[in-house]
């Protein structure tokens, strides 16, 4: 039976964890999980393991955490590497590792390829104000998200989604799409179709500096930025001489359409919720009361 095939899973974050859990629930055997090393997180910078590592350990699955991509092959040399699944691993898979998988590695990519190849497809869909996104099942190749596509599914966007919300929805959708098609992929009944590279677009790696709000930009652009960068790198600004993190905002009709409205170029942005210099999350009205006259 196809499900007797053992898989190697590559992934790191919560998106990956949802996919790994679906694979295990669906009855697939996983021989190893390849993930990033444990890293500091949160205000206390406590060292924590990746989400998929915790799941793997609960299921007594071998965990590999190579520091460098070039170290992956050595960790897999004694493991069955006919088929792999990758979801938000966060590192480039070297050609030498791809060559180890005779069947291939199926990559779950959170966009409708060839649109938004690269590291930030979810954020880019929000930043660009798209009315639709989705997930693709792709055969991993050496080129950046250039492999042929097995299947895809679209998701309409309302224009109010935040990055964490869209990550969760696409993780669930990607998990379901993989579960529905993986057996056919491994069994050979579903063959991938080459992408139209002439229609490809690419995303850039998001950096902390990208979170700075520039009120010289249109209000609509800044509203999207607040939603796209929720969680990380978060949207930062200076208001009343105070450095804040904006967690919720929307386009206002005019300068008095709200409690904390900022003039943009063009338009107005109402800040609804923020994290104050104290580190406390609060509504805009509370911030205005406490900081507008300091």
Tell me, letter by letter, the H, E, C secondary structure of 228-272: HCCCCCCEEEEECCEEEEEEEEEEECCCCCCCCEEECCCCEEEEE
Q: Tell me if 91 sits within 8 A of 62, measured CB to CB.
A: no
Peptide bond connecting 63 to the previous residue in cis, omega within 30 degrees of 0: no
> Quick check: 28 pLDDT over 80?
yes
Q: How far apart are the first and last CA of the chain?
A: 70
Q: What is the pLDDT of residues 30-73, one digit of tens each?
A: 999 999 999 887 677 789 899 999 999 999 999 999 999 889 99
Name 270's Cβ contacts closer than 8 Å, sequence gap at least 6: 249, 250, 251, 252, 257, 258, 259, 260, 261, 262, 284
Phi, then psi, of 85 in degrees rounded to 5: -130, 135
The rounded distance, in Å, linking the Cα atoms of 26 and 31 is: 15
**Pairing of the two strands 268-275 and 281-283:** antiparallel
pLDDT class of 2 with cuts at 50, 70, 90? low
- Sorted by where each starts, the structural domains of the chain and their CATH numbers stand as 2-199 (3.40.50.170), 208-291 (3.10.25.10)
pLDDT, tens digit, 9 for 90 and up, residues 183-225: 999 999 999 999 999 999 999 999 999 999 999 999 999 999 9
């Amino acid at each position: 039976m196809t499900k007797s095939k053992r898989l190697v899973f590559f992934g790191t974050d919560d998106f990956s964890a949802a996919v790994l859990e679906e694979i295990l629930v669906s009855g697939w055997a996983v021989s190893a999980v390849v993930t990033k090393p444990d890293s500091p997180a949160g205000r206390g910078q406590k060292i924590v393991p990746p989400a998929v590592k915790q799941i793997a350990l609960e299921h007594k699955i071998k965990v590999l955490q190579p520091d460098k991509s070039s170290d992956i092959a050595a960790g897999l040399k004694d493991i069955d590497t006919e088929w792999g699944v990758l979801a938000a691993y966060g590192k480039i898979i070297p050609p030498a590792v791809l060559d180890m998988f005779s069947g291939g590695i199926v990559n779950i990519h959170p966009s409708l390829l060839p649109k938004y190849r690269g590291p930030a497809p979810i954020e880019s869909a929000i930043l660009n104000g798209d009315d639709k996104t989705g997930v693709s099942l792709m055969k991993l190749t050496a080129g950046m998200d250039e492999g042929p596509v097995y299947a895809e599914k679209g998701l309409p966007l309302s224009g109010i989604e935040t990055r964490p919300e869209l990550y969760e929805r696409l993780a669930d959708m990607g998990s379901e799409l993989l579960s529905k098609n993986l057996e056919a992929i491994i069994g050979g009944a579903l063959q991938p179709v080459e992408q139209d590279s002439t229609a490809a677009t690419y995303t850039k790696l998001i950096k902390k500096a990208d979170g700075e709000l520039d009120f010289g930009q249109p209000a609509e652009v800044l509203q999207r930025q607040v939603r796209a960068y929720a969680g990380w790198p978060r949207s930062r600004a200076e208001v009343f001489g105070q450095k804040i993190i904006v967690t919720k905002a929307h386009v206002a009709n005019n300068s008095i359409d709200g409690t904390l409205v900022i003039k943009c170029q063009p338009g107005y942005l109402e800040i609804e919720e923020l994290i104050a210099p104290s580190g406390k999350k609060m509504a805009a009205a509370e911030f205005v009361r406490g900081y507008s006259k300091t």
